[in-house]
């Protein structure tokens, strides 16, 4: 009551695109803006104004201040406590059961993405937990169950791959060449993509790759390669370390199953592009959980802090306006987003890989056969090895890990090599070079013809000065785009200045807030 829709439209330049008879709820369209980022900001302001009015809050309160406990309690008291059991049951029966899949999809995209981007940017994890407790306590179990059945699958919660138990081995027999682990460099995957040959022409020097993931550990392999300015969107601080909590935060029976993912991914970038620098951005907790709007913020942060390439080894199954805005924003600034196709063995891509402006990466094994877990689609840009990839883990260890998450940083590293060799390429041009220089593997994958992109990446062909590639770029850059049970086998390796074993003592338990996100694959 009391909403003056004309005043809202006048103040924010919005227009009413839908009304609901018998209610004072309106769907507003923001004014046109020159960029997706400005459009998103306009949408945020308009949506927040409406939500604050409905919640009987002061519309002038800055969202960046977040919800205080009093405001959360006020929302609960004002909006939830007044519901009787009969009213809730009636609401459930009349509204939730009547939702069609199309309506749910629309709600997911318009409300979840838009509202999260608009209203959650300023929240801390404590605020989110408080809001969740205040809101859910007012609903009955019956309503929650029906709501979950109807819409839970549409929420944009981003999850890491389902990882099996990590097996630690006391092995320190791997030789080092003084630059990086010989096994990481000489493994079959690197030989298959011609990484060493490519290093004769380019090493990634002068290029920065942002790794938007679980953070990066303090591992000797990254010495002099991590640039300052990284950010932790889970703890909201400037320490994007890959943290181990030793807790089962999400109650799924697995403890910290996502820990080490970002470190492993970053190590692959380091091996493929040894002289590139890495910008760590933490958008997921040690369980591998996040929300799409947090991932979107991570991508935008990377663009605004000097990244040339953004690696996103994560994804979600449903569309996210927040993510799409972020990917478009990156492309508009000349930054290439490389994203994982997904590990569901499905003929579609996870987001953000499915968006036009992303480079989508599928996974193959070391025989160039599609990995059993990898998604596939005609929109895939390229494929790369993603089975039993050897890379960094923990603080001084190495591990084998599988997934499109591992294939993706090979292509992010390739992008860094190309940019260091050929310099000022637009994202669309870079995507074309990556796709066209790949080795066609359709003959080895007759069931997936034209579904694995240009083929398995060939880094040497991509960086050679005499490579002649057709220009297939369009005005709108075209890019695209985990699984058996991926396994992690950990090995201790000494760094290049010491032959002592790396201690595998449990890290000191450190609590951190659960990250519910803006996204991941």
CA 520/CA 360 separation, integer angstroms: 14
Res. 210: pLDDT tops 50: yes
Q: What pLDDT, on a 0 to 100 scale, did the predictor assign at position 291?
A: 81
> Does residue 322 contact residue 116 with C-beta atoms inside 8 Å?
yes
Q: What pLDDT, on a 0 to 100 scale, did the predictor assign at position 183?
A: 81
Res. 324: pLDDT tops 50: yes
Res. 94: pLDDT tops 70: no
Res. 35: pLDDT tops 90: no
Token representation of residue 12: 């924010």
Q: What pLDDT, on a 0 to 100 scale, did the predictor assign at position 8?
A: 80
Beta bridge partners of 156: none
pLDDT top residue among 158 and 318? 318
**pLDDT, tens digit, for every residue of 423-466?**
889 999 999 999 999 999 999 999 999 999 999 999 999 999 87
Q: Which residues, in sequence order, are CB contacts of 233 under 8 Å at separation 6+?
A: 281, 282, 283, 294, 297, 298, 301, 515
Q: What is the mean pLDDT of residues 145-163?
A: 41
pLDDT top residue among 209 and 495? 209
CA 190/CA 101 separation, integer angstroms: 44
pLDDT top residue among 18 and 433? 433
To which H or E segment does residue 10 belong? helix 5-12
Q: What pLDDT, on a 0 to 100 scale, did the predictor assign at position 144?
A: 54
CB atoms within 10 A of CB 511: 9
Token representation of residue 37: 């980022």
To which H or E segment does residue 417 belong? helix 404-422
Q: What pLDDT, on a 0 to 100 scale, did the predictor assign at position 97?
A: 45
**pLDDT, tens digit, for every residue of 215-265?**
999 999 999 999 999 999 988 999 998 876 545 555 656 655 678 899 999
The closest of 376, 440, 384 to 413, measured between CA atoms, is 384
Of 25-29, 426-430, 479-483, which gets the smallest average pLDDT?
A: 479-483
52 is catalytic: no
CA 145/CA 266 separation, integer angstroms: 40
Beta bridge partners of 267: none
405 is catalytic: yes
CA 475/CA 426 separation, integer angstroms: 11
Q: What pLDDT, on a 0 to 100 scale, did the predictor assign at position 281?
A: 97
> Does residue 1 contact residue 25 with C-beta atoms inside 8 Å?
no
Res. 413: pLDDT tops 60: yes
CA 505/CA 499 separation, integer angstroms: 18
Res. 7: pLDDT tops 60: yes
Token representation of residue 230: 């990284």
pLDDT tier, 40 (very low <50, low <70, confident <90, very high otherwise): low
pLDDT top residue among 210 and 176? 210
pLDDT cut 70: percent of the chain above it: 55
Query: What domains, with CATH codes, occur in the chain?
Result: 166-492 (3.40.50.200)
Of 118-127, 400-409, 477-486, which gets the smallest average pLDDT?
A: 477-486
pLDDT top residue among 400 and 154? 400
DSSP state of 38: H
The mean pLDDT of the chain is 71
213 is catalytic: yes
CA 135/CA 9 separation, integer angstroms: 29
DSSP 3-state of 155:
coil
CA 79/CA 135 separation, integer angstroms: 9
Chain centroid offset of residue 38 CA: 22
Annotated active-site residue in 108, 113, 217, 261: 261
Q: What pLDDT, on a 0 to 100 scale, did the predictor assign at position 230?
A: 96
Taking the complete model, does pTM exceed 0.85, yes or no?
Answer: no
The closest of 54, 15, 11 to 31, measured between CA atoms, is 15
CA 223/CA 214 separation, integer angstroms: 19
Res. 26: pLDDT tops 90: no
pLDDT tier, 48 (very low <50, low <70, confident <90, very high otherwise): very low
Longest dimension (CA), the chain: 75
> Does residue 452 contact residue 425 with C-beta atoms inside 8 Å?
no
CA 396/CA 394 separation, integer angstroms: 6
Annotated active-site residue in 213, 256, 368, 377: 213
3-state helix, strand, coil in the chain (%, to 5): 35, 15, 50
Annotated active-site residue in 313, 374, 391, 405: 405
Res. 419: pLDDT tops 70: yes
> Does residue 276 contact residue 269 with C-beta atoms inside 8 Å?
yes
Tell me the Cα Rg of the chain: 24
pLDDT tier, 302 (very low <50, low <70, confident <90, very high otherwise): very high
pLDDT cut 90: percent of the chain above it: 43
Report residue 293: phi and psi, to 5°: -70, -25
> Based on the number of CB atoms within 10 Å of its own CB, is 177 exposed (0-12), middle (13-18) or buried (19 or more)?
exposed
pLDDT top residue among 76 and 21? 21
The closest of 409, 394, 397, 431 to 269, measured between CA atoms, is 409
Q: What pLDDT, on a 0 to 100 scale, did the predictor assign at position 83?
A: 45
Res. 103: pLDDT tops 50: no
The closest of 34, 279, 232 to 124, measured between CA atoms, is 232
Q: What is the mean pLDDT of residues 417-422?
A: 95
Of 79-93, 333-347, 361-375, 472-486, which gets the smallest average pLDDT?
A: 472-486
pLDDT top residue among 174 and 307? 307
Q: What pLDDT, on a 0 to 100 scale, did the predictor assign at position 244?
A: 67
**pLDDT, tens digit, for every residue of 272-300?**
999 999 999 999 877 767 788 889 999 99
CA 425/CA 404 separation, integer angstroms: 25
Q: What pLDDT, on a 0 to 100 scale, did the predictor assign at position 15?
A: 78
Q: Which residues, in sequence order, are CB contacts of 143 under 8 Å at separation 6+?
A: 88, 89, 91, 92, 96
Res. 159: pLDDT tops 80: no
**pLDDT, tens digit, for every residue of 113-150?**
444 444 444 445 555 555 555 555 555 555 555 555 44
**pLDDT, tens digit, for every residue of 49-82?**
444 443 333 222 222 223 333 333 333 333 444 4
The closest of 214, 235, 245 to 126, measured between CA atoms, is 235
Q: How far is CA 508 from CA 55, 77, 235, 244, in A?
A: 42, 40, 17, 9
């Amino acid at each position: 009551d009391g909403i003056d829709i004309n005043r809202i439209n006048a103040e924010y330049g919005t227009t009413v695109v839908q009304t609901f008879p018998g209610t004072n709820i309106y769907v507003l369209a923001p004014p046109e803006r020159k960029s997706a980022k400005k459009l998103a900001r306009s949408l945020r302001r308009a949506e927040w104004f409406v939500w604050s009015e409905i919640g009987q809050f002061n519309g002038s309160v800055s969202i960046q201040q977040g919800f205080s406990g009093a405001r959360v309690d006020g929302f609960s008291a004002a909006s939830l406590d007044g519901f009787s059991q009969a009213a809730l049951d009636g609401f459930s029966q009349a509204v939730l059961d009547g939702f069609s899949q199309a309506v749910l999809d629309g709600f997911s995209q318009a409300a979840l993405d838009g509202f999260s981007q608009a209203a959650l940017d300023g929240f801390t994890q404590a605020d989110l937990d408080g809001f969740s407790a205040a809101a859910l306590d007012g609903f009955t179990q019956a309503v929650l169950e029906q709501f979950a059945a109807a819409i839970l699958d549409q929420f944009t919660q981003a999850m890491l791959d389902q990882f099996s138990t990590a097996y630690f081995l006391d092995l320190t027999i791997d030789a080092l060449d003084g630059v990086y682990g010989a096994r990481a460099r000489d493994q079959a995957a690197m030989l298959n993509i011609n990484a060493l040959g490519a290093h004769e022409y380019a090493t990634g020097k002068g290029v920065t790759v942002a790794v938007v993931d679980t953070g990066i550990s303090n591992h000797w392999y990254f010495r002099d390669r991590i640039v300052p300015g990284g950010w932790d969107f889970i703890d909201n601080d400037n320490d994007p370390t890959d943290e181990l909590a030793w807790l089962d935060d999400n109650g799924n029976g697995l403890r910290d199953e996502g820990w080490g993912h970002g470190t492993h991914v970053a190590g692959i970038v380091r091996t493929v592009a040894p002289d590139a620098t890495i910008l760590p951005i933490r958008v997921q907790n040690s369980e591998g959980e996040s929300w799409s709007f947090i991932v979107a913020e991570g991508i935008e942060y990377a663009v605004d802090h000097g990244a040339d390439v953004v690696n996103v080894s994560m994804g979600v199954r449903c569309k996210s306006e927040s993510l799409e805005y972020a990917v478009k924003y990156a492309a508009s600034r000349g930054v290439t987003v490389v994203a994982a196709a997904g590990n569901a063995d499905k003929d579609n891509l996870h987001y953000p890989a499915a968006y036009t402006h992303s480079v989508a990466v599928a996974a193959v094994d070391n025989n160039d056969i599609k990995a059993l877990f990898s998604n596939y689609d005609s929109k895939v840009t390229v494929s790369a090895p993603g089975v039993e990839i050897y890379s960094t883990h923990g603080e001084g260890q190495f591990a084998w890990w599988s997934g499109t998450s591992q294939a993706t940083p090979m292509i992010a590293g390739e992008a860094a090599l190309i940019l260091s060799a050929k310099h000022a390429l637009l994202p669309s041009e870079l995507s074309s070079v990556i796709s066209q220089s790949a080795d066609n593997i359709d003959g080895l994958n007759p069931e997936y013809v034209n579904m694995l992109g240009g083929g398995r990446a060939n880094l040497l062909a991509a960086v050679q000065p005499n490579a002649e590639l057709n220009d297939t770029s369009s005005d709108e850059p075209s890019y695209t785009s985990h699984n058996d049970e991926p396994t992690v086998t950990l090995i201790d390796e000494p760094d290049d200045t010491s032959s002592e074993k790396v201690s595998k003592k449990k890290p000191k338990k450190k609590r951190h807030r659960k990250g519910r996100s803006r996204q991941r694959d």
